[in-house]
Structure 1
Amino acid sequence: MSQSVPPPGNPFAQGVEPGQAPLPPAPPAPPARSNAGLGLVAALVAALVAGGVYGAVAGGIEREIGWAAVGVGFLVGFAAGKAGGNNPALPVVSAVLSLGAVYLGQLLALAIILGKQLNASATDIVLDHFDVLTSLWKEELDPLTFLFFALAAFAAFSGSKKAAA
C-alpha cells in the first residue's frame, strides 16, 4: 500500500498547477457607502408606510399588536442602512423615526376604532379632533406601550447598523 505524496507548493492554491500562471488578484472592495440624505429619505418613507400599515392593521382588528412595533422599527432602520450606508447618524435618526412611526400607527388605529364606533371616517377624526385623539391615546398608555416604543427604537438602531454592513 503506497501513500500519495502531495505536490510541492501550496496545497490550497485552488487548482494552480506547477507551470501555470497564478490566478489574478481579487478586485478591490467597493468603497463604503455613506449617503445620509438618501438614508434619511428612505427611513422617512419607510416610517410613514410602516406606521400607516401598522395602524391600519391594528385598527382593522381593533387590537394593538405591540410586537409589530418591533417590525416597524426594524423596517425603518433597514431602509436607512440599505439606502444610506454606514453614516453614523442614520441609526440614531432611524430610531427616532421609528418612535414617530409607532406613535402614528397607534393614533391611526385609535382613529379607525373610533370611526367605527361613531360612524365617522378616521380621516375626519384625525383632522378635526386630533386633540381628543391624543387625549384618548394618553389615557390608554401603559408600561407595555413604553416597552414596545423602546423595542422599536432598538430594532431600528440595530437594523440600520446591520443593513449598512
Structure 2
Amino acid sequence: MSQNFTPPAPDSYSPVAAPAPVRRGNIGLAILAATGTALVAGAAYGGIMNAISFQIGYLAAGVGLAVALVAVRLGGRNPVLPVLSAVLTLAGVYVGYLLDAALSVSEYDGTPVSELLTTELVWLNQAYVDNIDPISLLFYAIGAYAAFQMARKSGD
C-alpha cells in the first residue's frame, strides 16, 4: 500500500509561535539535589583548600553558584530557592572547612580522617569554632551571597 504525500502549499498555513516554556519545578527534588550538591561541592572546596594550603574566596562562591544552579534548574521559579540556596551554601562551605581541618589533623598526627569525621566530630567542630578567622567568615558570606543572587536572578 503506497501513500502519496503532497506537502502543503507555502501560503496555505501560517507559522505559529512556540508556546512559552513552562517552568514548573519540583521543590522536593530541588531541595534534595541542592543539598547533595552543597555536600559534594563543600567537600571539593575542603579538599582543594587542604591541597593548596590556602583559602580562595572564588571557590566559596563556586559552591554557592553550583548549589543555586541545581536548585533553580530543578525547582523552577519558587521564591524560597534563593534563601534555601544561601543556607545550603553555608552548610557546604562549613563541610569544606571541617574536611580541611580533618585532613590537616590527619596529616599531623595520623588519626584517620574517617575517625575525625565520625567519632571525633564534636572535638573537630569545637577546634574549628575556636580557631575560626575573619577571612573564613568573609568566605561564608561570599558563598551565600553568590548563591542567593544566582538563584534570585535565575528565577526571574
Cα separation, 1, equivalents of 2:108 and 2:126: 17
The question of 1:158 aligning with 2:149 is answered yes
Cα separation, 1, equivalents of 2:120 and 2:55: 21
Mapping 1:118-133, distance limit 5 Å: 118-133=109-124
- Please provide the CA RMSD for this pair: 1.9
Counterpart for residue 112 of structure 1: 103
| Structure 1: tracts of 5 or more residues without a match | 1-18
Cα separation, 1, equivalents of 2:38 and 2:52: 21
The question of 1:47 aligning with 2:42 is answered no
Cα separation, 1, equivalents of 2:140 and 2:90: 6
What SS does the aligned partner of 2:54 have? coil
State which drifts further: 27-36 or 147-156.
27-36
TM-score by length of 2: 0.84
The question of 1:86 aligning with 2:74 is answered no
What SS does the aligned partner of 2:77 have? coil
The question of 1:62 aligning with 2:68 is answered no
Counterpart for residue 13 of structure 1: none
**How big is the shift at 1:53?**
0.9
Contact 2:57–2:142 (Cα < 8 Å) also in 1 = no
Question: Once the two structures are aligned, what percentage of the paired residues are identical?
Answer: 38
> 1:80 is aligned with what amino acid?
A
Q: State the structure with more CA Rg.
A: 1
Report how many residues are paired. 147
Counterpart for residue 76 of structure 1: 67
Contact 1:62–1:113 (Cα < 8 Å) also in 2 = no
Q: Select which of 20, 40, 46 maps to 1:29.
A: 20
TM-score by length of 1: 0.80
